Amino acid sequence: MAKDMTKKKIIIVGGGISGLLATIKVCELGGEVYLFSYCPVKRSHSLCAQGGMNACMDTKGEHDSIYEHFDDTVYGGDFLADQLAVKGMVEAAPKLIKMLDRMGVTFTRTPEGNLDLRNFGGQKNKRTCFSGSTTGQQILYALDEQVRRWEVKGVVHKYEFWEFIKIIKNKEGICRGIVAQSMNTMEIKSFPADTVILATGGPGQVFGRCTASTICNGSAVSAVYQQGAEIANPEFIQIHPTAIPGSDKNRLMSEACRGEGGRVWVYKDGKPWYFLEEMYPAYGNLVPRDVASRAIFKVCVHMGLGINGENRVYLDLSHIDGDYLLRKLGGILEMYSEFVGQDPRKVPMEIFPSVHYSMGGIWVDRFHFTNIPGLMASGECDYQYHGANRLGANSLLSAAYSGTVSGPEAMKWAKSGKNGSELSEAEMEAARAEVQREYDKILQMNGSENAHKLHHEMGDLMYKYVAIERDNNGLDACLVELKKLLKRWDDIGITDRGHVANQEAMFVRQLRNMILYAMAITKGARCRDESRGAHAKIVLENGQRKHDENGDLVFMGRDDKNFMFTTIINYDPKTEEPLVSYREFDHSLIKPRARNYAVAKKE
């Protein structure tokens, strides 16, 4: 088949919601997409989103407004999100929902046939559109179907089971292609493009056990970071308050449980203590995730009130009608029964907070361009929209919205003539050969360390020092330990030297990227001397954690003067260490105010 040479070629790495929507947009604008993914795009991590997608539909008679959604998002994000970007997103939200509805997303409906809405954390109005408790899955599938339609038309070329390794820049320093490796045949190849969009999702695996899929390792983000892309706000890692702890992974129990009336409690003095409702009377169980996580952590770790002394609290749905629950939350209740062996409709679930989402990511401007020309980032792998803490059900929104921005912008850039010269065969081969050399070196590794054990250690380290409560001692220690891990990486020995689906060799390469990303997270956290959103830092006094007269830990306050800036992390190729600086962002629309969920929001 003769290829249309005039068609603009866009490489999109990652087939989650953001990547797929960008793909659709590019196709509609006449471009040709090369879609790379670790897995069949239909198995991307977007499908783990459960609770829903926020959009001001205002169909519940609550006089909800787009402004309210805007304010909730900015306030929930502790005033660290670019407000113009957020405004664009919340304004587009209802339109996106209608589009997804037309695409066949099986949203849950009211008796009248309208889209049903539910409550979600950090918002007082019903604003969350949902499909049972597998909303992400349903949205992803609908987009996957649309992309398949374009694939049949021959304008989408899927490279599933291909791992993105790095970008290729032309002589002007503009990104004009990528190197990727087949995960089955292990073939390494260069691919040219007019624009490259990364939509590779979050770095959950940096923390080992988390709610993320095993494929969410942030390796691609780290790879471009090492090639000069700036990472922004990586220290803001969302800890989801309600997850089923597990040794292989912490399985998410959607915020929708609380949205549908679930209550969190532990026994105190022999009686149930609904501590969230007591601590935050205005929002109760529906406080934002960072607030809920810290409260649960405090109750379990500092007060020792966890179930049977373990780090668990109850998430209770048993007071709600079983049929209603099945209809609204069927998917996740079934999951709980399956993995824990108890029926959440009858007994309270046992949950504990877990690493869940990264607000930070590759720095992008409002059009999703990174600081490397020709390279864009979209979805969880970018830092836009959520500030210091993400509201529940805003992730599907940001994923979808960013795709609708990055796709058309990628086409605009491709047509602008600013993207410099095409890659020559020699440049492409040079890039390929370099990756091949690195890969061959990994295949020869013959040391004493096991990559998976190292990964496990890194996860423990990150959980210990860079999770819910942080302090500068711990962060310093963590950085030292991470550097040691990086050293030990060189001493990895691999047992698999095969040339078919060598998952071990691929993992070794990803692990190095993960360690470097972990360093960026830790360094960002170390340098931010304040508490904001998901980043909560304890005051040190004489080198010890400071406690107040009640014995409670004293956290640093929010410091708008010094830290209402975006953290920017650059990679120092010489020392391999992260370099921290700060950058202004737009906060012109809503004036910062103190964040307090004990009282109803005052604007």
Closer residue to another protein in complex, CB, 174/333: 333
Which 3-42 positions form the footprint of another protein (CB under 8 A)?
Answer: 21, 24-25, 28, 39-40, 42
Q: How far is the CB of 194 from another protein (least distance, A)?
A: 21
Nearest to 375 by CA among 164, 193, 566, 182: 193
Interacting span for another protein (CB under 8 A) from 227-235, 337-345, 358-366, 573-581: 337-345
Interacting span for another protein (CB under 8 A) from 243-251, 264-272, 427-435, 594-602: 243-251
Query: In which element (H, E) is residue 276 found?
Result: helix 275-279
CB 242 within 8 A of CB 392: no
Checking phi first, is residue 372 left (phi over 0); if not, alpha (psi -120 to 50) or beta? beta
Q: Which of 331, 483, 527, 592 binds another protein (CB under 8 A)?
A: 331
Site string for another protein, 245-274 (x = CB under 8 A): -xxxx-xx----------------------
Which 37-76 positions form the footprint of another protein (CB under 8 A)?
Answer: 39-40, 42-45, 47-48
- The span from the CA of 298 to the CA of 538, in Å, is 13
Q: Which of 226, 311, 436, 450 binds another protein (CB under 8 A)?
A: 450
Q: 3-state SS string over 206-268?
A: HHCCCCCCCCCCCHHHHHHHHCCCCEECCCCEEEEEEEECCCCCCEECCCHHHHCCCEEEEEE
Query: In which element (H, E) is residue 188 found?
Result: strand 188-192
* DSSP structure string for 402-418: HHHHHHHHHHHHHHHT-
CB 232 within 8 A of CB 569: yes
What CA–CA distances, in Å, run from 208 to 181, 242, 254, 354?
Answer: 24, 17, 20, 11
446 binds another protein (CB under 8 A): no
CA dihedral 243, 241, 57, 365 (to 10 degrees): -100
289 catalytic per annotation:
yes
Which 383-412 positions form the footprint of another protein (CB under 8 A)?
Answer: 404
Tokens representing 112 are: 């009248």
149 binds another protein (CB under 8 A): yes
Q: Which of 503, 544, 562, 581 binds another protein (CB under 8 A)?
A: 503
Interacting span for another protein (CB under 8 A) from 132-140, 264-272, 282-290, 463-471: 132-140
- The span from the CA of 257 to the CA of 119, in Å, is 10
3-state secondary structure of 37: strand
Which 453-472 positions form the footprint of another protein (CB under 8 A)?
Answer: 453, 456
Cβ density class 537-549: b for 16+ within 10 Å, e for less: bbbeeeeeeeeee
530 binds another protein (CB under 8 A): no
Q: How far is the CB of 268 from another protein (least distance, A)?
A: 27
Q: Which of 4, 62, 65, 110 binds another protein (CB under 8 A)?
A: 110
Which 209-228 positions form the footprint of another protein (CB under 8 A)?
Answer: 213-215
Q: How far is the CB of 532 from another protein (least distance, A)?
A: 30
Q: Which of 62, 65, 172, 184 binds another protein (CB under 8 A)?
A: 184
Pick the catalytic residue: 289, 470, 512, 532? 289
Interacting span for another protein (CB under 8 A) from 362-370, 447-455, 528-536, 552-560: 447-455
Running DSSP on this structure, what letter comes out for residue 2? -
323 binds another protein (CB under 8 A): no
Closer residue to another protein in complex, CB, 145/434: 145
Interacting span for another protein (CB under 8 A) from 70-78, 317-325, 490-498, 508-516: 490-498
Active site residues: 289
